[in-house]
Amino acid sequence: MIREPKACVVVPCFNEEQRLDGVRVVAFVAAHPEIRLLFVDDGSTDGTAPLLKRLQEMAPEKGAIEVLVLPHNGGKAEAVRQGMLHAVAMSPAPVYTGFWDADLATPLDTIPVFHSILEANPNLSAVFGARVKLLGRSIERRLLRHYFGRIFATVASAVLRIPIYDTQCGAKLFRVDDDLREVLAQPFLSRWIFDVEIVARYAQLRRRSPDRPAADQIIYEYPLEQWHDIKGSKLRLHDFLRAAVDLIRIQRHYKS
């Protein structure tokens, strides 16, 4: 059994039977016994639940892969929140927790990189992946989604008043502390752009304690080495429109 996991990373799943690469998952936990993967089945209606059970049984160590089954589909935001709450309540609690998209567009091998950044920088609260297409990196995004993403990120930065490049990358790792517990305490307003809301909650906490570093000083964006757009995304055009409405709600709710 893994007695003292350094990190427990939540992987939210809704009907991911065809996209989840179980071979990569099992290989990763075998190579990194200090990291647990916690899969949250968000009321899937396909074969996701049996697949997760098989992966759990295939894990080289008991506890390396855990599964949390939610009774009904509540959306990615609540699946991530419930998973992270479950992680911080573990005994012993991990030092870090976070979430990773089930399509593994960001390779799991990036988790130890995020872990090392937090280890080397005790003043940081979180590391976020950033999909920046630079020379020497392999970032493959569909052109339309890239442009929508850049527009959204620009508006989100203005709403947050923080110069963040990529709020929506599904690869994030957090230090487990009282701030994170407060950030996770209440359900998110948005089902999809809860990533923006997480930053807004950190910013609000820091504004209430002016003697502490601001939110833009405790979050580190790491330009990913690899990110490949995987077919089967559940995001549609109307989700971008809904996101715009949610941004307004977030701005109004967290302006104090």
Q: pLDDT tens-digit profile of 148-188?
A: 888 888 999 999 999 999 999 999 999 999 999 999 999 99
What is the model's pTM? 0.94
Amino acid code (one letter) for 4: E
Q: Supply the pLDDT for residue 95.
A: 97
Domain spans in the chain, listed from the N-terminal domain onward = 7-253
pLDDT band of 231, cuts 50, 70, 90: confident
User: 36 is written with which tokens?
Assistant: 């647990």
- Name the β-bridge partners of 129: 222
User: What does the alpha-carbon distance between residue 26 and residue 156 come to, in Å, rounded to a whole number?
Assistant: 36
pLDDT at 225 over 60: yes
Looking at the predicted structure, is the pLDDT value of residue 246 above 50?
Answer: yes
Query: What percent of the chain clears pLDDT 90, i.e. is strictly above it?
Result: 81
16 pLDDT higher than 60: yes
The residue ranking higher by pLDDT, 236 or 81, is: 81
Which pLDDT does position 57 carry in this prediction?
96
Percentage with pLDDT > 70 across the chain = 95
The SS3 of residue 244 is helix
What are 30's two structure tokens? 């075998």
- Asked if residue 94 lies in contact with residue 86, where contact means CB atoms within 8 angstroms, the answer is no
Q: How confident is the model at residue 3 (pLDDT cuts 50, 70, 90)?
A: low
Within a 10 A sphere around the Cβ of 69, how many other Cβ atoms?
15
pLDDT at 233: 62
Mean pLDDT of the chain: 93
> What pLDDT score does 232 carry?
61
User: What's the pLDDT band for 1 if we cut at 50, 70, 90?
Assistant: very low
Token representation of residue 147: 């442009």
Closest CA to 186 of 26, 77, 42, 54: 77
Lowest-confidence range among 71-75, 139-143, 176-180, 239-243? 239-243
Q: What is the pLDDT of residues 18-51, one digit of tens each?
A: 999 999 999 999 999 999 999 999 999 999 999 9
Per-residue model confidence (pLDDT) at position 234:
59
Confidence at residue 2, expressed as pLDDT on a 0 to 100 scale:
47
Tell me which fold the domain 7-253 belongs to: Spore Coat Polysaccharide Biosynthesis Protein SpsA; Chain A (3.90.550)
